[in-house]
């Protein structure tokens, strides 16, 4: 039997041990790298795939049976007269469309005695250039003042008339047109008679914003005196840097400001440290602890629950989404009845009990419990405020729809290249949205401001 050299065996085992230790260390290092890359990928994915992702872009969907879908009725509702528009109160022009002597198909002679007469209305418009020649009186006074004659129908300075200034503003802010395209548009439709450079149109918009700035500052100072405000914010590029567009809606005003911050300081500058009213918003934490009361958005809550239910259709987060949706619809139907304050208070207790039952359920899955803890419990007293306070909604859809009007500008024009342009946008769009909020025509109101 061959003798075993103990020292050689120990040496071999030591070498093997060092080899496996080094191999385990290398594998562990590679594992940590993979985990780190996975965490980065998941974080990046969450930016594009979350509860705010449109349903049309989600990679997963719940399959709905065709029998569950309610067929959509075709055509106009019963009782409709079938017309698109009511007859106008007045007409500007009358025309008569005459038949030919023979039928267009068989060429037989038309019997004039059997002809029926019908009326239809044609709506048309034209952009007609108006070139105004102005005889302007001037006088150099002995005091050194150079006096210039005035007329209410023309601006004191420049070559762009009041109506054209209002049209420039409307095309820029309602249709998100670039200055170059606006210049080309008027050059084309007027056959070259109205031909201003993009720079001239830009300067015109800047002068309008400068005229509206004192009114803009007054609206900002009035916001903190309002009883409540809907609030939302969205990213807004300024010269390639991410800024944020903040939009606030009260009962009287719509206010827009574009800041290089999404922090609480923006709200404090507008409302102050201790706002006496209420805030209707999503669950973004900058809104916490500076207002008297809050109403959190139920649509954001339901969107989160729906996202998790479609992502995990086999778990009871589907049940959570159904229960929250049922409670939300019940509360909306109740508010449609416009109940009295006493009925509101009594009904609020009933809704609180239902919400408490949802929160206290012990068998929620991990995804459901996350929603319960981070949404329902974290903002426990902020979900039913609209039941008791008249005039506000359970959701922030009102503000979401208003801020959507600015998204077209961001997508088509990419935000702004200068801070001055961002400020001009905030000033003019604040007034246009406020006039619309008050039931006025933004174009007519803008024309009135320009003239005065």
Burial group, residue 92, by CB count within 10 angstroms (0-12, 13-18, 19+): exposed
Q: For tokens 């974080």, what's the residue?
A: 43
Q: For tokens 């209305």, what's the residue?
A: 121
User: Is 169 in contact with 428 (CB distance < 8 Å)?
Assistant: yes
Diameter of the chain measured on Cα atoms: 134
> Which pair of tokens denotes residue 39?
């965490």
Q: For tokens 């004039």, what's the residue?
A: 112
User: Measured between alpha carbons, how far is 108 from 102 in angstroms, rounded to an integer?
Assistant: 5
Q: Which residues pair with 232 in a beta bridge?
A: 247
Q: Report the helix count and the strand count for the chain, using DSSP H and E.
A: 13, 7
> Which pair of tokens denotes residue 246?
């903040």
CA-nearest of 306, 302, 303 to 324 is 302
> Strands 138-140 and 254-259: what pairing?
unpaired
User: Measured between alpha carbons, how far is 125 from 82 in angstroms, rounded to an integer?
Assistant: 25
DSSP letters for 200-242? HHHHHHHHHHHHHHHHHHHHHHHHTTSSEEEEEEEEEEETTEE
* pTM for this predicted structure: 0.81
Cα separation values, 67 from 72, 74, 310, 313, Å: 13, 18, 20, 19
> Which pair of tokens denotes residue 8?
């050689």
CA-nearest of 245, 227, 349, 231 to 297 is 231
Q: What angle do CA 252, 258, 259 make, to 5 degrees?
A: 125
In the 8-state DSSP scheme, what is residue 143? T
The pLDDT tens digits along the chain (452 residues) read 556 677 777 777 888 888 888 888 888 888 888 998 888 887 777 766 776 666 666 665 555 444 455 677 777 677 665 566 788 888 999 999 888 888 888 888 888 888 888 888 888 888 889 998 988 888 888 888 888 888 888 888 889 999 999 999 999 999 988 999 999 999 999 999 999 999 999 999 999 999 999 999 999 999 999 999 999 999 999 999 999 999 999 999 999 999 999 999 999 999 988 899 999 999 988 998 889 999 999 999 999 999 888 888 888 999 999 999 999 999 999 999 888 989 999 999 999 999 999 999 988 999 999 999 999 999 999 999 999 999 899 999 999 999 988 888 888 888 899 999 999 999 999 999 999 999 999 999 999 999 88
Which three-class secondary structure state does DSSP give residue 188? helix
User: Measured between alpha carbons, how far is 93 from 124 in angstroms, rounded to an integer?
Assistant: 11
């Amino acid at each position: 039997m061959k003798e075993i050299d103990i020292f050689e065996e120990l040496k071999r085992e030591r070498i093997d041990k060092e080899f496996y230790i080094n191999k385990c260390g290398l594998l562990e290092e590679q594992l940590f790298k993979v985990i780190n890359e996975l965490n980065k990928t998941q974080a990046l994915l969450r930016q594009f795939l979350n509860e705010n992702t449109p349903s049309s872009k989600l990679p997963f969907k719940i399959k709905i049976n065709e029998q569950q879908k309610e067929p959509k009725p075709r055509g106009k509702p019963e009782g409709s007269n079938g017309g698109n528009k009511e007859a106008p109160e007045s007409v500007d022009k009358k025309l008569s469309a005459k038949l030919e002597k023979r039928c267009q198909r068989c060429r037989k002679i038309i019997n004039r005695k059997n002809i029926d007469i019908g009326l239809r209305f044609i709506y048309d418009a034209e952009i007609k250039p108006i070139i105004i020649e102005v005889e302007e009186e001037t006088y150099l006074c002995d005091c050194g003042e150079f006096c210039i004659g005035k007329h209410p129908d023309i601006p004191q300075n420049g070559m762009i008339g009041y109506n054209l200034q209002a049209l420039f503003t409307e095309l820029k802010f309602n249709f998100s047109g670039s200055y170059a395209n606006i210049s080309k548009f008027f050059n084309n439709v007027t056959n070259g008679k109205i031909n201003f450079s993009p720079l001239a149109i830009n300067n015109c918009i800047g002068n309008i914003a400068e005229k509206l700035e004192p009114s803009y500052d007054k609206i900002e100072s009035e916001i903190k005196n309002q009883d409540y405000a809907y609030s939302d914010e969205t990213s807004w590029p300024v010269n390639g840097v991410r800024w944020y567009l903040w939009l606030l809606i009260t009962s009287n005003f719509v206010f827009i400001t574009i800041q290089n911050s999404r922090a609480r300081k923006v709200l404090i500058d507008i409302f102050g440290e201790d706002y006496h009213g209420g805030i209707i918003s999503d669950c973004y934490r900058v809104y916490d602890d500076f207002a008297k009361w809050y109403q959190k958005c139920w649509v954001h809550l339901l969107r989160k629950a729906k996202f998790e239910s479609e992502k995990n259709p086999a778990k009871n987060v589907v049940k959570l989404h159904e229960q929250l949706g049922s409670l939300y619809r019940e509360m909306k139907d109740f508010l449609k009845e416009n109940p009295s304050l006493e009925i509101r208070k009594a009904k609020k207790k009933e809704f609180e009990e239902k919400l408490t039952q949802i929160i206290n359920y012990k068998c929620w899955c991990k995804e459901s419990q996350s929603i319960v803890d981070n949404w329902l419990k974290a903002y426990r007293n902020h979900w039913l405020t609209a039941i008791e306070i008249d005039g506000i909604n359970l959701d922030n859809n009102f503000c979401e729809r208003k801020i959507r009007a600015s998204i077209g500008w961001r997508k088509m024009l990419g935000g702004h290249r200068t801070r001055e342009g961002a400020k001009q946008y905030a000033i003019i769009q604040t007034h246009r949205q406020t006039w619309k909020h008050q039931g006025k025509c933004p174009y007519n109101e803008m024309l009135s401001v320009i003239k005065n």
